Amino acid sequence: MPCAVILTAIRVEYMAVRAYLKKCQEEVYRGTVYEKGRFSANKRVWDVGIVEIGAGNSGAAQQAERAIAYFQPQVILFVGVAGGIKDVQLGDVVASTKVYAYESGKAEETFKPRPEIGLSAYSLEQRAIAEAKKKDWLKRLPSPPETTPTVFVAPIAAGEKVIASTKSEVFQFLRSNYGDAVAVEMEGIGFLNATHANQQVSAMVIRGISD
C-alpha cells in the first residue's frame, strides 16, 4: 500500500487533516508522536502518517527527516495556512512550485536578498495543475464555501517572521523582491531542504490562505 506523510504546524491544521483519515492509530518514533490512518480516493487507498510539529523552518526540516526515516513514504506534504501576498483571496489554495527563503541575503547599507530556493517535486506540481482544473475536491469540504476557492500552483515565500500587516516593511520587501510569490509562511524552506536530501520522496507545500 502506498504511504504518504503530512506535516502541520498547529493543531487546527492537524485536526483538519485528521478529519479525512479513517482508522487512526498512534505511533511513536524517537519520541515524536504520530498518528497513522487511511485515506481513500480515486479507487486507491493510502496509509497516511500525520504529525503536528510547531512553527519554524528548522523544526520543519528536522521533523521531515524523521518522518521520512520512519514511514519511508512515497509522498510527503507540508499542509497548513499562510498569509496572502498578491492575487489570492481568503480560502484559496496554493500548491507550491518553489519556496523562497526570503531572509537569506547580505546586509550592506541596504539588505540585498540572495534567496535560497526549495523546489517541489515535478510530479506533484503536474498533479496539482491537473487537479486544479477539476471540481471533485470541493465535494470533500464539510460545508459549501460562500465563494468557490481558487487553486494556485505558484511560488511561496518562507521566513521566520509572523507578518501581521500589509503595511509592514517585511511585506513591502516581499512585494518588491519576490514578485511571483503569492503567499508567505514559516516552514516551507526548511521542509523542502530536508526533502531535497531524500530524493526518493516526492514533496510539496500546500497552503490555504487564512489572512
pLDDT of residue 178: 87
pLDDT of residue 111: 67
Task: Please report, in tens digits, the pLDDT of each residue of the chain (211 residues total).
Answer: 999 999 999 999 999 999 999 999 999 999 999 999 999 988 899 999 999 999 999 999 999 999 999 999 999 999 999 999 999 999 999 999 999 998 776 666 666 677 789 999 999 999 999 999 998 888 888 888 888 899 999 999 998 888 777 778 888 888 888 889 999 999 999 999 999 999 899 999 999 999 8
pTM (predicted TM-score): 0.93
Secondary structure of the chain in the HEC alphabet? CCEEEEEECCHHHHHHHHCCCEEEEEEEECCEEEEEEEEEECCEEEEEEEEECCCCHHHHHHHHHHHHHHHCCCEEEEEEEEEECCCCCCCCEEEEEEEEECCCEEECCCEEECCEEEECCHHHHHHHHHHHCCCHHHHHCCCCCCCCCCEEEEEEEECCCCCCCCCCHHHHHHHHHCCCCCEEECCHHHHHHHHHCCCCCEEEEEEEECC
pLDDT of residue 84: 95
pLDDT of residue 142: 81
Q: What is the CATH number of domain 3-209?
A: 3.40.50.1580
pLDDT of residue 187: 97
Which sequence spans correspond to the domains of the chain?
3-209
